[in-house]
Amino acid sequence: MSRIGKKPVQLPAGVKVEVKDNLVTVSSADGKKKLCQEFNHVTVTVGPKEVVVVRNAETREARAAHGLYRSLIQNMVTGVSAGYAKTLDIEGAGYKVELKGQTLVLTVGYTFPREFKVPAGINLETPSANRIVVSGIDKQLVGQTAATLRGIRPADPYRGKGIRFMGEKVITKVAKGKGKK
């Protein structure tokens, strides 16, 4: 039995969960925030204060899906109630970022500034010229957006310049010395 799958998902106040056919819909009390997820191989039961996921059979697919769908539902509940955020730091002389409408303009050492269009469901903030805050209700979309932004100019292993997650340790290598044989 999956240790993660058998734990019920606790529902905070103001979060509604509906199950119809093979679709779970998690929404906020006002209905403005809404996430949906299809599921297979499991049965989802909604109680007054919790959601329980039970597998339909003891097949390999059902055992694999049990903990997965429970975690996905938990992420949806957390996203609708509190949301997710990732912070990126930009290191380097002359490196900066600015938000122009729905486009993020990154000046990170290339000949021309890189432009990044903000995907739907994501909020980007630039509290300073060297910091980006990616937030939203969908955990996967927030993480993917942050990883895409980091991929524009990953931290250089020799000088440490580039885009990195807040708190990420960049291990710098020693550059090749001159005059050594």
Residue pLDDT, tens place only, 143-167: 999 999 999 999 999 988 999 999 9
Chosen domain end from 20, 50, 81:
81
44 lies in the same domain as 32: yes
Q: What percent of the chain has a predicted confidence (pLDDT) above 90?
A: 83
Residue 181 has pLDDT above 90, yes or no: no
Give me the chain's average pLDDT, please.
92
How many domains in the chain? 2
Q: Is residue 28 part of a domain?
A: yes
Chosen domain end from 81, 107, 129:
81
Q: Give this prediction's pTM.
A: 0.88
CATH code where residue 52 lies = 3.90.930.12
Residue 2 has pLDDT above 90, yes or no: no
Tell me the sheet residues that pair with 43: 54
Contact partners, residue 54, CB within 8 Å, separation at least 6: 42, 43, 45, 66
Give the structural domain span for 36. Answer: 9-81
Q: Is residue 131 part of a domain?
A: yes
126-138 pLDDT, tens digit per residue, is: 999 999 999 999 9
